[in-house]
Structure 1
Amino acid sequence: MGDDVYRGFAHDLKTTIPAPSSAQVEGHIGDDLRLYSILRTDITMSQGKANAQCGHAYVAAAIGALGTPEGDAYARLIPGTKICLDGGSLQKMQLLIEQLSLQGIPCFPIIDRDHVELPDFDGSPILTAIGLGPFTRADTPRALRKLKLFKGLQA
């Protein structure tokens, strides 16, 4: 197996990740694989917009992982576990992207643009979510373990 190349934040960082051996993959196949969406929560968005941004993050992570042993194993799971975490502010989200990229962990920032939902969505590009995974529970990056589960938008 060769190395997989992923693009990081803003599609300008290239990160090489060694492909796992077939023995390592055996431990990853199964119901323990999960995709993550980290939702930005310092902006105002409707429940529908939040759901859509999380969906974009899950799809980006799943498609980005296709061709890797974990990605292919996750694709065989129906429907597969998905976890949404509270990412907090723009600054926290950007720091998380930097940390993950430096560790060689592929992440998929979701940038909403051309949609208007005032006050925060005026059509300009805005970071709303990050997609990651799939990972097993044991392989979940430490930075994600520190985040709280997203509990929904406050009315």
Structure 2
Amino acid sequence: MGLHNCYSVGLVSLVSGILIGKYLFASISPPRPKKSKRNASDISETDDEDYSDDSIASEYEVNSTSLNEVPGEVRMTLVVRQDLKMGKGKAAAQCSHATLALYKMITNPESEAYNEQMVKRWEYGNGQAKITLQVPNQEEMDMLYAQAISLGVNSYIVHDAGRTQIAAGSATVLGLGPAPKAVLDQITSDLKLY
């Protein structure tokens, strides 16, 4: 078995383990608080189809402090699935969910993901830079997710609540970082801008 095949088998095993663990332990996670419903008057006719304010998440907290030694620009990367054909407003809402979730993870002192130094580099170094990329389908998104975790990059997958354009539970956006651009490029350099 060649090195490339060993890498592929290892990566698939990692993704499988993460996904199996997520589903096995989902039943023991604390209940999520219900969010208040918005009035119809809060949403204009033009953005009704593109907005969803609820999501379900897949997150994996990693200790990213080893990445503090990697020099250069720090950014967040948002990877949007193209096969879902989300409207622009819907994709923007899903990217916002991912951004906020990653920020909450990395700034929570009780989280494994807590990394004050990386947050400062991201916030003050270049204005909270974010880049939005596209991925063709969920399988490739899952591979990116596993690769990010293996490199020590905090990751978060947004799953839609299914109230508007797409089926409930659909993985819509993969959020990565904040992390050094050099490390994120190892994961996403083959992807096109969204």
TM-score for both structures, normalised by structure 2: 0.58
For the structure 1 residues 91 and 70, does the alpha-carbon distance in structure 2 shift closer, same or farther, using more than 3 Å as the test?
A: same
Q: Name the SS of the counterpart of 2:184 in structure 1.
A: coil
SS in structure 2 at match of 1:116: coil
Contact 1:35 1:62 in 2 (8 A): no
Match of 2:188 in 1: 144
Cα deviation digits, residues 3-39 of structure 1 (max 9, x gap) = xxxxx764868665362497x38x45xxx22111000
2:106 alignment counterpart = 65
Mean alpha-carbon deviation: is it higher for 62-71 or for 76-85? Answer: 76-85
- 2:133 corresponding residue in structure 1: 85
Overall identity of the aligned pairs, in %: 23
Structure number with greater Rg is: 2
Q: How many matched pairs?
A: 134
Moved more, 33-42 or 53-62: 53-62
Query: Tell me, which stretches of 5 or more residues in structure 2 are unaligned?
Result: 1-17, 26-58, 108-113
Answering whether residue 128 of structure 2 is matched by residue 128 of structure 1, we say no
C-alpha contact 2:148 2:176 (8 A) present in aligned 1: no
Structure 1 unaligned regions, length at least 5: 1-7, 151-155
Corresponding residue number in structure 1 for 2:74: 33
1:104 to 133, 152, 165: 152
- 1:42 counterpart residue number: 83
In the aligned structure 2, how far is the partner of 1:134 from the partner of 1:71? Answer: 7
d(CA) in 2 for partners of 1:109, 1:141: 18
Aligned residue for 2:193, secondary structure, equals coil
Partner of 1:53: 94
* Shift in CA distance, 18/135, structure 1 to aligned 2, threshold 3 Å: closer
TM-score by length of 1: 0.71
